Amino acid sequence: MKRMVEEDPQCVNARDGAGYRALQWAALNNRVAAATLLLDSGSEVDAGDNEGQTAMHWACVRGALPCAELLLRRGANLNAADSRGYVPLHVAAQYGHTGMIYHFKMRWNVDVDVTDLDGRTALHWASYKGFPDPVKLLICMDADIYRADKEGCTPLHWSAMKGKSEATHLLVQAGGSSVLTAVDVDGNTPEALATDKGHHSLAYFLHNQHKQLSTRDHFWTQKGMAVACLSLILGLMLGFTHYVMFASGVATMDVSLAFWSLVVLGSSSAGLYYMRRVSNADPGFVTAAALSSLRRGTRPSSAANDVDDRLNHSELWAGNWNQLCVSCKLVKPFGTKHCSMRDKCVARFDHYCPWMGNTIGKRNHRDFVVFLILESFAMVVAFAVAVVRYGEESPGEKYRNNTGILMFAAFDALTLLPVIMLTISQLVQVAQNVTTNELSNAHRYSYLKSSDGAFVNPFDRGSHLANIRAFFFPSKNAPLIDDIAAGLTTVTVDRTV
């Protein structure tokens, strides 16, 4: 090739029979050495083919990032549009090259909302093709999720029309009710287009999401089962008082039983106090502002100076797009998960508890476990007292009625069984310093896997006792983001090309 260039210097800009140039072929196949030779020999970096596509467009077809970076350093125009208005970013989105999109934004601060001749952005194309990672990244880059093209279609219209479920889920999570009710020029919502194209399961999902989002913030949706839980506990306390402590026809309690009965009522009352704390607490909501002091990763020397620091993160430079949250638009620390019911990311997310009407996370997990312990203890003691009372002799045996005691004992036992199982499960997890979410979804989290794929818990402090002590007796100024979780993502980033 070098000899050919020396013999005919003009060949570097010559077209083949189809109108393509040598630099385009080098870019398509990521031939950095060949592209360097062509550019050094006078090849025009922004020269287009018959459709106006440049070497940069071709590099984006196969995600040839090293060659694309070479072209950019040699002055390639990232905003060069072909005959259909496609810029390189559109092509990268059309072919699902998430890393290239990230590179263009972080190194060259590309405009993610630039449109083609039909008014479509990179997010439209990623949604149309159904690539979840580009969709996720573009949303977190603040791409306009509500922007309509010339047909009035938003990105959600296109993903619903093509039956792309993953992209649809992400767009709904990020856009909420507004994106679900958007209509195109013909008055069609995304749900209507999904139905029209035969994607009935996707249309059903969109319909249900619209219903759920419209009632998600209502009091009874958030706290309805918490009210039921409160009523259940109060009902057990009243039943214990009426049917066991002051049972009709049964002898007056002795001092010992009276003491344990008061313990039952005291433990139940303390449990209600902790229930209130759990229900009303901030479970550990994570925001971009809260993460600003926990910057991880090193800004590459050639990164654009005015890019969003939220995205300048080692996990993203490493291509771990699963750490992105499209609702909160942040990079989730390890152990953090987005709660769909509260629509916020929660540090050390354990689960959403409808009986508490709140998410269980870093800030209220201890109170939740204490609540379980207190109520389990109260129900065990109450059952024991009921059994003793049932067997007591009564001076007025013919007036004795044990039905109330039996009913209370049966109801107490039925309630106790699931509660004590949950309590034991939570205590085992506390001893291991692992959450319910991590145990249930360990296969999704790379930080819970060793090099050979076996489960490993990086949050384990070395012993059950150390884990229990740290859980029940945290330091007064304990950070929102677990120190171990912060340490997991501390790496040195070297992204020079």
In whole angstroms, give the CA distance from residue 409 to residue 244. 9
Which tokens is 247 given?
């049972």
In order of 160, 173, 335, 481, the CA distances from 347 in angstroms are: 32, 19, 6, 6
Beta bridge partners of 351: 360
Which tokens is 322 given?
């699963």
In whole angstroms, give the CA distance from residue 219 to residue 159. 33
Would you give the distance in Å from CA 179 to the centre of its chain?
A: 19
Which tokens is 329 given?
């638009």
Which tokens is 493 given?
């980033």
In whole angstroms, give the CA distance from residue 138 to residue 494. 23
Are the C-beta atoms of 107 and 300 separated by less than 8 Å?
A: yes
Beta strands in 170-323 (DSSP E): 285-286
Place of tokens 């010559």: 14
Q: How many CB atoms lie within 10 A of CB 385?
A: 25
**Burial class for 449, CB neighbours closer than 10 Å (0-12, 13-18, 19+):** middle
Residue in 206, 208, 202, 146 with CA at minimum distance from that of residue 178 = 146
Would you give the distance in Å from CA 16 to the centre of its chain?
A: 49
The end-to-end CA distance of the chain, in Å, is 24
Vertex 338 angle, CA 333 and 156, to 5°: 120
Catalytic: which of 153, 328, 345, 353?
353
Question: What are the two backbone dihedrals, phi and then psi, of residue 490, each rounded to the nearest 5 degrees?
Answer: -85, 105
Are the C-beta atoms of 323 and 170 separated by less than 8 Å?
A: no
Q: Is 345 among the catalytic positions?
A: no
Residue 223 has, within 13 A of its CA and on its CB side, a CA count of: 11
**Residues that are catalytic:** 353
